[in-house]
Amino acid sequence: MKILDIDLDFFLLRKANSTVTSERRLNKNDYKCWERQDVIRFLEENCGLSTSKKIRGKYFIHHVEVFHFLKEIQMKNNFNVRFPIDHVDAHADLGLGDASYNYISGKILHMPVDERHEIKQFDGWEGLSSGNYLAFAIACRWISNLKYINNKDWFDDLPSFHFRDFNTESKIIELKKFYDDDIRKMINNGDFYSKASTIQPLDLEPPIPFEKIEYENFRNEKTYDYILLTQSPGFTPRTADALIDVIKEYMAIS
């Protein structure tokens, strides 16, 4: 099963930053959108989509809803499905800028794998949110491969903590299990990654191949099973909503 995960804010000419739960739309004069034909060209030539062969799809308002949808699929398949995901987004959604690494490494990874989806914290500094849902899905071992498709100048939001050897260029996401006390030592040391690299993790999660791809160079060659489209209102102007119907032309919405 392969998933195309699209955030509408990818189709802006300027990257927006906001709070993950925001509903306030951006100023249309400050944030211009792609032209309709450019969106169509990307969907067809880069993603390999066709309006004559619509793919099952879902539409969401906030990107965290994708996590809950993936959970629904897992529940229907006894949690035995692994998704390669092509993440087309202006943001990595792996948790940079929050402390979800603390909750994931200090709590979630200590749980049996079949219980990890029972998230107890939402939003805030550490909880599951639209800005980190992919890291939580990886912690649940739902994702087998992750491609991050973005503008070449916008790959500045990858959290080193989740990558092999704390290196975002390793092309491997490898979540690490730590004691809470060890994480506190990293935080209190003042030089987070220097301290973190000296502390042996209790365990390492299975490695997930990761690739960041400039959208002009992205070419999908395998048919998707799902297209997931998210509006992300706090990260898009109202003028971007016109592109929702354009993208839905390639989706069989259920």
pLDDT number for residue 197: 86
For 225, list phi and psi in degrees, rounded to 5: -95, -30
Strands 55-60 and 251-253: parallel
pLDDT averages per 10-residue partition of the chain, 254 residues: 97 89 90 98 98 98 97 95 97 94 96 96 94 98 98 95 95 96 84 87 97 98 97 97 98 90
Please answer whether residues 6 and 231 qualify as being in contact, where contact means their C-beta atoms are separated by less than 8 angstroms.
no
pLDDT number for residue 28: 96
Q: Is the pTM here over 0.85, yes or no?
A: yes
pLDDT number for residue 20: 75
pLDDT number for residue 23: 83
Q: Which residues pair with 146 in a beta bridge?
A: 85, 210
Convert the chain into a string of H (helix), E (strand) and C (coil). CCEEEEEHHHHECCCCCCCCCCCCCECCCCCCECCHHHHHHHHHHHCCCCCCCCEEEEEECCCHHHHHHHHHHHHHCCCCCCEEEEEECCCCCCCCCCCHHHHHHHCHHHCCHHHCCCCCCECCCCCECCCCHHHHHHHCCCEEEEEEEECCCCCCCCCHHHEHHHCHHHCEECCEECCHHHHHHHHHHCCHHHHHCCCCCCEECCCEEEEEEEHHHCCCCCCCCEEEEECCHHHCEHHHHHHHHHHHCCEEEC
pLDDT number for residue 37: 98
Task: Look at the chain and count its residues.
Answer: 254
